[in-house]
Amino acid sequence: MTGLRWGILATGGIAAAFASDLRTAGLDLVAVGSRSQESADAFAARFDIPRAHDSYEALVTDPDVDIIYVSTPHPMHRENALLALEHGKHVLVEKPFTLNRAQAEDVQRLAAEKGLLAMEAMWTRYLPHMVRLREIIAAGTLGEVRAVTADHTQLLSDDPAHRLNALELGGGALLDLGIYPISFIWDVLGEPVSIQASARLIETGADAEVATLMTHAGGAISTSLSSSRAAGPNAASVIGTEARVDIDRVWYSPTSFRVVGPDGAVLDEYRSDVQGRGMQYQALAAERFVREGLIEGDELPIAETVAIMGTLDEIRRQIGVVYPDEA
């Protein structure tokens, strides 16, 4: 198999961004599925997709589809991923992978039983500047990494009915925005050994701002801030005993960074040269895993995805956010 044949499940904004990047990378996008034929047809016409299905069931039973990108709202991720896996399709599931750890474990279990790839679409992990950052850390350039700090803060809709503010849709800054810095912190420092979280909840019960302070193996410390009601720098730093890396705005998308010594001297600099948004790199990674007969990769194994959902569960427990599907 030289390449996978992609299907996209749902037709929202993130699906459009992914479809555009698949086309940029020349990957084989063959089908889309929506809850209405009209929406599927419009999406297919926009991205020159040969087949448009009027239901998710029709998409997952399409014999010419190998892998499905799940881009529905958070509460539907588990159901949609299981549906695709049951029909023998690999899945790339938009972040957050599910609503909680228990749901993520369901997907992990079925994927293992079927021998299929189930991968979280944490696209930041696969971007060239993040690959280079991991190389720098592994080379010991920073010395012992003692701290990581990152924010994901945007000024978004304050409409109570908006997806970001509706608990029934998995709303809140943590799952939509905070997943980025939390996953980044996991990538650099590994699993936290202690978690402290604080948040401001809005009238719907969703979290508008969330801050975390976590400790990790060896006593390293991480901090994160997420907000859907205020735009901050959207920068990140990895701080070591010999040097630090400062990642520019917007750190979780293709951008530049500098390696800075204790005296402020710039020791190295990286600048991205990425076409499109950069979501194609995760798709290329998924294709490579399948081509090599793997059901996961080192960049973000599914066990780590599941464990990160557990970290988010603990943060939500501390700030008092419960989704209706969990009650």
Confidence category of residue 304, pLDDT binned at 50, 70, 90 = very high
Confidence category of residue 1, pLDDT binned at 50, 70, 90 = very low
Residue 2 pLDDT > 70: no
Alpha helix stretches (DSSP H) within 52-172? 56-60, 77-86, 101-114, 128-138
* Coil vs helix vs strand at 160: coil
Q: pLDDT (tens digit, 9 = 90+) per residue, 155-175?
A: 999 999 999 999 999 999 999
Q: Where are the domains of the chain?
A: 5-123, 128-273+308-326
Q: pLDDT (tens digit, 9 = 90+) per residue, 106-122?
A: 999 999 999 999 999 99
Average pLDDT over residues 53-62: 98
Average pLDDT over residues 264-281: 97
Buried b (16+ CB within 10 A) or exposed e, 54-91: bebebbbbbeebbbbbbbbbbbbbbbbbbbbbebebbb
Note whether 39 and 11 are within 8 A (CB). yes
Q: In what order do the strands lie in the sheet with 207-215?
A: 194-201, 207-215, 221-227, 145-153, 236-240, 244-247, 257-260, 266-270
Which residue bears the tokens 């014999």?
63
Among 256, 247, 189, CA closest to 223 = 189
Looking only at the bridges linking them, the beta strands covering 194-201 and 118-121 are: unpaired
Alpha helix stretches (DSSP H) within 226-320? 280-291, 302-319
Q: pLDDT (tens digit, 9 = 90+) per residue, 188-216?
A: 999 999 999 999 999 999 999 999 999 99
d(CA 244, CA 264): 10
Q: Is domain 128-273+308-326 in CATH 3.30.360.10, yes or no?
A: yes
Structure tokens at 312: 């988010």
Largest Cα–Cα separation, the chain: 61
Supply the CATH classification number for the domain 5-123. Answer: 3.40.50.720
What pLDDT sits at residue 326? 78
Distances (CA, A) of 315 to 111, 159, 170: 27, 24, 14
Beta carbons within 10 angstroms of residue 199's beta carbon: 23
Torsion-angle region of residue 83: left (phi > 0), alpha (psi -120 to 50) or beta? alpha
Same-fold call for 5-123 versus 128-273+308-326: no
The reported pTM is 0.97
d(CA 24, CA 5): 15
Structure tokens at 61: 């039973």
